Amino acid sequence: MTVAVYPGSFDPMTKGHLDVVIRAARLFEKLIVGVYDTPDNKRLLFTVQERTGMAAEATAGMPNVEVRSFSGLTVDFAEKVGAHVMVRGLRVSADFEWEFDMAMMNRKLNPNLEMVCLMASPEFQFLSSSLLKEVSKLGGNVDDMLPKNVAEALRRKVHKEM
Ligand code: ADP
Active site residues: 17, 42, 91, 129
Per-residue model confidence (pLDDT) at position 128: 94
Distance CA 44, CA 115 (A): 25
Distance CA 96, CA 89 (A): 9
Q: Whose CA is nearest to atom 8 of ligand 1?
A: 8
Q: What is the atom index within ligand 1 of the atom nearest the CA of 99? A: 14
What share of the chain has pLDDT > 90, as a percent?
88
pLDDT greater than 70 at residue 162 = no
pLDDT tens digits along 111-127: 999 999 999 999 999 99
Asked whether the whole model's pTM tops 0.75, one would answer yes
Q: Ligand 1: does its nearest atom lie under 6 Å from the Cβ of 77?
A: no
**pLDDT average, residue stretch 13-31:** 98
Q: In what order do the strands lie in the sheet with 65-70?
A: 65-70, 30-36, 3-8, 85-90, 114-119
Domain that holds residue 71: 3-161
pLDDT greater than 70 at residue 22 = yes
Locate all alpha helices (DSSP H) within 2-92, ordered by sequence.
15-27, 48-58, 74-80
Number of domains forming the structure of the chain: 1
pLDDT tier for residue 75 given thresholds of 50, 70 and 90 = very high
Per-residue model confidence (pLDDT) at position 84: 96
Q: Whose CA is nearest to atom 21 of ligand 1?
A: 16
pLDDT greater than 90 at residue 48 = yes
Higher pLDDT, 40 or 150: 150
Buried b (16+ CB within 10 A) or exposed e, 70-104: beeebbebbbebebbbbbbbbbeeebeeebeebbe
Q: Whose CA is nearest to atom 17 of ligand 1?
A: 89
Supply the CATH number for residue 51's domain.
3.40.50.620
